[in-house]
Structure 1
Amino acid sequence: MTKRNKIIYWIATVWLALGMTSTGIVQLIQMKEEVDMMTLLGYPIYLLTLLGIWKILGVIAILIPKFPLLKEWAYAGFFFAMSGAVYSHIAVGDKAISLFGPVLLLILTLISWYFRPVNRKTNS
């Protein structure tokens, strides 16, 4: 892995981890704005707790050394959650600004996954 790729990986991964951790916490504590958004999107409020837990566990999975298969699952979960968020906002006709967070986290997920070091990849 080149030094450039390592820097790209860590910058994307740290920002991804911060974004997922902060949104996970907001979902776990069920901030009013988050509850309002879930209601607007038509999802049950209890889904916030599940998403918050999954995001925090996913962050732990991508940051800890080893466990490459677990990392693949975490990246997949982040991809599905963020692409689902983008689709949900579009489906209800939400304003374009509401896509910024999910699209940014989706891009960071893809960059972090693509540039991850060999020891963080599965052998398949």
Structure 2
Amino acid sequence: MKKHKIIYWVTTSIIFLFDAVLPALTFNTPLAKEGIHHLGYPDHFRIELTVFKVIGGIILILPMIKPRYKEWAYAGFGISMIAACVANWSVDGLNGNAIFPLVIFGILIISYVYYHKTKCILIKEKNF
């Protein structure tokens, strides 16, 4: 059980740091603005995406949030990662910028699987 919790918290922390904290700190930099413009998105999308990523990260990292909301946050991050891969691939071809979101998506999947494993363990413990 301890192994499951460690894997869950490490992977969830990576998602939180990469997909919530980092965008919150860098969304207004010239590099971020150019990146969104380069992919063909309007500038307001950068702000919307950052707001939803921060909200999703908070939902994932706080243990008292209901599972229903966590499911939506996982879905949102998954869609975001797939869309980032497709956008980068369609504009610049298959390169590191297109592959990296899939790596983060893999970490997100591990977090999701271990979220459910730790949740099932907690339910079993409460029944005893």
TM bucket (normalised to shorter chain) is 0.7 to 0.9
Pair member with larger Rg: 2
Amino acid paired to 2:97: S
Give me the whole-angstrom Cα distance separating, in 2, the residues matched to 1:41 and 1:10. 32
Q: Report sequence identity in percent.
A: 28
**Residue 102, structure 1, aligned to residue 101, structure 2:** yes
Q: 1:101 deviation in Å? A: 3.9
In structure 1, runs of 5+ residues without a counterpart are 120-124
Higher relative contact order (CA 8 A, sep 6+): 1
**Residue 54, structure 1, aligned to residue 55, structure 2:** no
**1:28-107 equivalence runs, <5 A:** 30-66=28-64, 67-94=66-93, 96-107=95-106
Give me the whole-angstrom Cα distance separating, in 2, the residues matched to 1:63 and 1:94. 33
The structure that is helix-richer by fraction is: 2
TM-score normalized by structure 2? 0.82
Q: 1:104 deviation in Å? A: 2.8
Deviations 1:66-104 (A, max 9, x none): 310000000000000111000100011246121354223
TM-score normalized by structure 1? 0.85
- Taking only aligned residues, the RMSD between alpha carbons, in angstroms, comes to 1.6
